[in-house]
Amino acid sequence: MTDRVCENCAFPDEELVLVRRVYLTPEAWDRPASAQVVEEAELWCVSCRSQYPHEAVDDDD
């Protein structure tokens, strides 16, 4: 059994990747579309990375 879990869905996984969550706001009649990147990095599984907006964290960060 693994000790590591996805910080988004809590699924146990050994192959987690460090990402930053991205919140998307769709365009509306009174505002343009926008994206907000959260500064804090999280470990995510492949399922969450395939379904939710995010940015990969570079090794240099």
DSSP letter string, 3-40: S-B-TTT--B-S--EEEEEEEEE--BTTB--EEEEEEE
pLDDT band at 2 (very low <50, low <70, confident <90, very high): low
Q: Terminus-to-terminus CA distance in the chain, angstroms?
A: 30
Whether the full predicted model's pTM is greater than 0.95, yes or no, is no
Find the domain containing 47 and state its range.
1-61
Total domains present in the chain: 1
Task: Identify which has the larger pLDDT, 8 or 3.
Answer: 8
- What share of the chain has pLDDT > 70, as a percent? 92
Q: What is the mean pLDDT of residues 29-51?
A: 97
Dihedral through CA 45, CA 17, CA 38, CA 26, nearest 10? -50
Mean pLDDT (whole number) for 9-14:
94
